[in-house]
Structure formats: structure tokens, C-alpha cells
Amino acid sequence: MYICDSFKVKNVMEVLKMKSKKIISFSLIIAMLISALALMSSCTSGFDDTKYAVISENNLTDDGLIYSIYENNTVVITGRQVDYNELVIPDEISGRAVVEIGESAFAEDENLVLVTVGDNVKVISEDAFSECEKLARVEVSENLKKISSGAFYGCLRLAEFIGATTVEYIDEVAFYNCSALAYFIFPETLTTVNSEAFSGCASLTDIVLPSKLKTVGIGAFSYCSSLTRISMGNLETLADRIFLNCESLERVTVSAKAEKIGAHAFRGCSALKEITVPKTVKSVGEAAFAQCELLTNVKYTGSEGSFKSIKIGADNTFFSGAKIDYNVKVN
């Protein structure tokens, strides 16, 4: 369960005030202040890791949704008893906010085509819609903060994912093998994209990563065979296999803040002809550019001496043997 309770912060501060009047130890006051600040920090993110107890399970709405009620007076959707092709997750049920779609709630649903998610939902849980092979369109609200591991794993026909303009966290294999997904907006609020989150999204053509995103997981965009354009934002590390077998990439500009290009990062990018590498890069991993037979030009923003100091791993013949342009200016 994820929900931010503003009353917790207020309660901590009230206790602090009463205790301080009794002249308790300075160290305890500091500890309580830190606790209050931590709670306020979690509230600003839109969700926290608090686990609340279930007080009622397997409840049923008039339209066939199954749900649980939690001790903080919120609702989690856990499934359905009807087979319509359209699913609408409401904002509330009996006056209680619907804040989450539960783990495996609609996994392998053979009929589901369209999904609309209510305004109060902050989390789509693990495997919530995994392998819904007919699912074509999902619309979420701007309040969604987390898309959990495998949430849309193997949704082969998912072509439209609308909303999620303030999402912060996309977990591993969240959209794995969503081969019809041609477009995804990565909002400025996004801080985490975990391993293979978009691996196998064979229709995805354009990726623009936000400035807050510093690293992404291993193979996050691997096997995106239609990908032609990447804007890397402020990535500091290009993870292992990040763009493995992205066969349509021709030109790439590595983030100006990148320090590492991981192993097999661009392996199998058979159309890659040119890459711009910043002088901040200190290492290129093993086989980072293996099977990049067309790579003939490396544009480097530093000096020749600086380039020679880069630690280049084995099986990078196409990178090391390319024509190197030094001191290149990048707009």
C-alpha cells in the first residue's frame, strides 16, 4: 500500500512541541526533527513505502470490481468478476479513495482492450496487467507515481499509454515486450527506470529522457528495433546492454555528463554510423560497440590525449578503429 498521510507530519511536530516544553534531551529533539523531515520528504514524492493492514477483502462493486479496504480508509483493486473489454477504475468506492491497482489484479485477462485509471491511483502494482494480450490502450491520471515490475509485461498490442505526466518510478520489465508501443512520454519527474523496463518495445521510435534521470537499469531499452532518435538528458552512466540490438539507430550523442558506457551498450546496433562522445567518459565496457560494422566516425569533445586515456574494454574494434574527430563542439 502506498499513500501519503499529512497528519503524520503534524502529529510528529505536535509531540515535539509538548516534549520540548518538558526540556527533554537535545538529542531526542533532533531525532524527532529528522523523523518529521523524512515524512515530509516522502509526502512530496506522492507515495511512500508504508504498508497498511487489510481490514476487509474480496469486496465487490455493483459493476464487478473486487477490492480490499485498508486501515487508512483507502481501497486497492484486486480483480474483477466480469469479462467486458473495457475497464474503468473509479476515483472512489463508497467514499474511500482508490489508490492502487493490486498485484496481478488483471494478469492474463483475455478480454481486456481498454483501461481508464482513476485520478486517485498512485501505484500500478507488480504484474497488474501482465500478458493481457488484447490490451491496446491505457489512460492514467497525472497523479500516478509508480509503475511496478512487470505491470504491463507482454502486452503485445498495447499501442497507447496516455497520461503519467508526473510518474517518478518505472520498475524492471514494466513494459517488457510491448511490441506495439510506438510512443512514450518520459516526464521531468521521472527519477528511476529499472532493468529491461522497455526491452522489446519494437515499435518505439523516439526516446527523450528527462534531466532528473541520472541512471537507468541494465538493458532498459534493448531490442527496441525501430528506435531512431535518443535524447539522453543528463545520464551519468550508460548501463550494460542499454541499447543492445537497437538496429535502426544511425547517430547517437552521448549525454554530456556521462562517465561510463557499459558493456554491450550498443552491441548489435548494426545501422550505427556515428557517435558523439563527451570528454567526461572515462571507460567503455567490453563489446560496447560489437557488431557495429557501419560505425566509421567518432566525434569526441575532448583532446586526442584525453581520448587515449579512456579505458576501452575488449571487443571494441569498430569503435577504436573508427575515424576520431577531436575537440568537437556540441550544440
> Based on the number of CB atoms within 10 Å of its own CB, is 166 exposed (0-12), middle (13-18) or buried (19 or more)?
middle
Cell of residue 197, nine digits = 523496463
Percent of the chain with pLDDT over 90: 83
What value does the mean pLDDT take over residues 91-114? 97
pLDDT for 50 equals 83
DSSP string, 41-62: HHHHTT-----PPEEEEEEE-T
The answer on pLDDT for 28 being more than 70 is no
Measured CA angle at 115 (ends 206, 182), to 5 deg: 15
Rounded to whole angstroms, the Cα distance separating 310 from 329 reads 19
Give the relative orientation of helices 6-21 and 26-44 as an angle to the nearest 10 degrees: 170
Rounded to whole angstroms, the Cα distance separating 104 from 198 reads 19
Find all residues with CB under 8 Å of 324, minimum gap 6, and list them.
Answer: 298, 300, 304, 307
pLDDT for 158 equals 98
Q: For residue range 218-259, what is the model confidence (pLDDT) as tens digits?
A: 999 999 999 999 999 999 999 999 999 999 999 999 999 999
The answer on pLDDT for 15 being more than 60 is no
What rounded mean pLDDT belongs to the chain?
89
Percent of the chain with pLDDT over 70: 85
Find all residues with CB under 8 Å of 87, minimum gap 6, and list them.
Answer: 80, 106, 112, 114, 115, 116
DSSP string, 284-321: E-TTTTTT-TT--EEEESS-HHHHHTSEE-SS-HHHHT
**Longest CA span, the chain:** 75
pLDDT for 9 equals 38
Per-residue pLDDT band at 331 (split at 50, 70, 90): confident
Per-residue pLDDT band at 215 (split at 50, 70, 90): confident
Provide the Cα torsion 139, 145, 150, 152; round to 10°.
Answer: 10
Q: For residue range 281-330, what is the model confidence (pLDDT) as tens digits?
A: 999 999 999 999 999 999 999 999 999 999 999 999 999 999 999 999 98
Query: What is the residue type of 55?
Result: I
Contact between 123 and 137 under an 8 Å Cβ cutoff? The reply is: no
Per-residue pLDDT band at 272 (split at 50, 70, 90): very high
